[in-house]
Structure 1
Amino acid sequence: MLRLKTYLVEDSPVIRESLIATLEELGPVDVVGTAEDESTAVQWLAKPDHPVDLVIVDIFLKHGSGLGVLRAAHGPLYHHALVVLSNYATEEMRRKCLELGADRVFDKSNDIDALIHYCGRLAAGETSPGALV
């Protein structure tokens, strides 16, 4: 199975390290870069020598917002899956994230298993960027 080159945008060092360990151990994921703020993430993702399969974004960041990352990292030039992982996954926020190009929105408290399952399906080619199922 393909391992997903993944970029993680999360401002909490504790959550970031825990998430990296969990995803790399339980899912087909290799985290190739991280950011804790919007501008760092946007700049990194804009570089053509940084291809990734999956971008995981939190909404609330040290500076800026995950919504800004979604705006910048979505479009015809990008071929990665784009998901949100947040404690603030309300219905309104889910709708906004999907409007801005997120493929899926996961709740940090309840959906880690669902995120790992999604990564497995993505790596196996069972779903693709832009598919909401």
Structure 2
Amino acid sequence: MKILVVDDSELIRFRLVRQMEAIPGVERVLTASGCMVAKHLVSSMQAALTVLVLDLHLPDGDPVRLIPQFKGEHQDLKVAVLTNDATDYNRQRCLQAGADWFFDKSTEFEQLLTLLRQLSDPASPDPTFPRSNP
């Protein structure tokens, strides 16, 4: 499983990478601090990207607009939004753009890691997480 973490916080990127790399089945975790770097990484990836973990507030653009583009470039890509701005408006906006999951960074961080463990385990049934967490 190949994962791209897009978050402007170096601390969050570091924490996620460290925890994701410990998950069996995770081959590679790439990071980007903004939209431009994420666009470059996604378009230059030869092998399929499995999961994109996306923050909503990036310094160089609106990442929600990139979700359909990224999913178009990688057909089976799953998108998990992880944000501190978990309003109903943002949740609906992300899901309508094609995000598969929406997590509140302050209260659902561990749920994202559980989801990734499920996705990386070929024996695991489809993840039980709803597209929109209550």
Both proteins in one fold, TM over 0.5: yes
Q: What stretches of structure 1 of length at least 5 have no aligned partner?
A: none
Aligned match of 2:17: 20
Aligned match of 2:29: 32
- Report deviation, 1:12: 1.1
Distance 1:79 1:27, change over 3 A: same
- Aligned-partner SS, 1:29: coil
Aligned match of 1:109: 106
Residue 68 of structure 2 aligns with an amino acid whose one-letter code is R
Alignment check: 8 A CA contact 2:34 2:59 kept:
yes
Aligned match of 2:75: 78
Distance 1:90 1:16, change over 3 A: same
Report Cα offsets for 1:16-65 as digits up to 9, x if no partner: 11121122235753443211111221222123514211110000012112
Aligned match of 1:7: 4
- Aligned-partner SS, 1:56: strand
CA RMSD of aligned residues (A): 2.3
Instruction: Give the % identical residues.
Output: 27
Alignment check: 8 A CA contact 2:25 2:121 kept:
no
- Which stretch shifts more, 110-119 or 26-35? 26-35
Residue 132 of structure 1 aligns with an amino acid whose one-letter code is R
TM-score, normalisation: structure 2: 0.81
Distance 1:120 1:77, change over 3 A: closer
Alignment check: 8 A CA contact 1:7 1:55 kept:
yes
User: Structure 1 CA distance, aligned partners of 2:19 and 2:81?
Assistant: 16
Q: What stretches of structure 2 of length at least 5 have no aligned partner?
A: none
Residue 71 of structure 1 aligns with an amino acid whose one-letter code is P
TM-score, normalisation: structure 1: 0.82
